[in-house]
Amino acid sequence: MNNKKDKIDIRSLTLEALQQQFISMGEKPFRARQVYEWLWQKSCLSFDDMSNISKELRSKLNETFVINNVRINSSQVSADKTIKNSFILHDTHLIEGVLIPTTDRMTACVSSQVGCSLTCKFCATGYMERKRNLNPDEIYDQVVLIDKQARENYGIPLSNIVYMGMGEPLLNYANVLKSIERITAEDGLNMAAKRITVSTAGIAKMIRKLGDDKVKFNLALSLHAANDEKRNAIMPINEQNSLKALAEALKYYYAKTKNAVTYEYIVFDGVNDTLKDAEELARFCKHLPCKVNIIEYNPISFANFINAGEDRIEVFADYLRKQGVTTNIRRSRGKDIDAACGQLAINEKEKEASLS
């Protein structure tokens, strides 16, 4: 089993499955737990570095298994200290992850898919083909690498994780939940679930499933319009997941988890920036406990969307607040680098194509 593609991806195995593998190899089950801890607690990427494992067993591990780790392909550092990474996977696909430092938190933004099958008109990733889902360990690796960047560059560990990078997390449901299980587990990275937010473009049946699974992490919905006609135009996923269907799913989710929801809303100039739009959003917010994050947009070359003016955004936010809706304005980060979701990976691919 010398060929890498014939080896078993060791991090695809549960502890129980790994123990069975060790028994079949003539090894004691407790050795499997030792290796499992090296992989998930210590984020070890080489069997040869597992110092409490015998040389003979390390040799067996190298013969039988592979660790398909994620590596940093390139990084861009913004004047505001944001670090945008393109990561290369074992099969040479590129994804993105971002370190976002602010005064009160250190956040990792991670990807869940290579590309995206949704076609949101304002998102760079929406113009990429979805190649495949990420495995749980590939999501976990992004967190480990970004945490290392935070410690090395700013002397502060990660405090938060947002699944807001490339891809739609709820279309990679099982792997996303498994990655969160490893990130939050005591024998994993031991991060609190309340420090993790999963952002969805809105898939009603999967939001219901989050409720059935009684998840502990936070849920955010990329809303951007509380009017079906407008949302259909900028987010075609809304055609199969209407605002009514989403509202019902979110109410079900809240009833099951008691977790408030965050609505993400980019105020686009001339698209969704009127007081009537704010009124529709305020009405949508009445369905369950929630807050609104108004997000500043990073324009992309593929689309003609731009931010509404600052005065207009303030009027919009002020209206929501007067209606009793908790509203925050999130300023754009990394404006001087390829900060929009998907931009860096697209540019890297285009650079590769021009050189080949």
> Is residue 199 annotated as involved in ligand binding?
yes
Catalytic residue among 96, 138, 264, 280: 96
Torsion angle (degrees, nearest 10) of CA 68, 69, 73, 75: 160
> Is residue 223 annotated as involved in ligand binding?
yes
> Is residue 116 annotated as involved in ligand binding?
yes
| Closest to 337 (Cα-Cα) out of 88, 96, 103 | 96
CA distance 291 to 218: 12
Of how many residues is the chain composed?
A: 356
> Is residue 190 annotated as involved in ligand binding?
no
96 belongs to the catalytic site? yes
Cβ neighbour number for residue 146 with a 10 Å cutoff: 25
Q: Where are the alpha helices (DSSP H) in 192-309?
A: 204-212, 228-234, 243-257, 275-284
341 belongs to the catalytic site? yes
Catalytic residue among 109, 285, 290, 341: 341
Q: How far is CA 7 from CA 68, 70, 90, in A?
A: 10, 17, 13
> Is residue 168 annotated as involved in ligand binding?
yes
Q: How far is CA 253 from CA 52, 193, 194, 199, 226, in A?
A: 45, 16, 16, 14, 19
> Is residue 298 annotated as involved in ligand binding?
yes
> Is residue 109 annotated as involved in ligand binding?
no
> Is residue 44 annotated as involved in ligand binding?
no
Residues of the binding site for S-adenosyl-L-methionine: 167-168, 199, 222-224, 298
Residues of the binding site: 116, 120, 123, 167-168, 199, 222-224, 298
Residues of the binding site for [4Fe-4S] cluster: 116, 120, 123
Which residues are catalytically annotated?
A: 96, 341
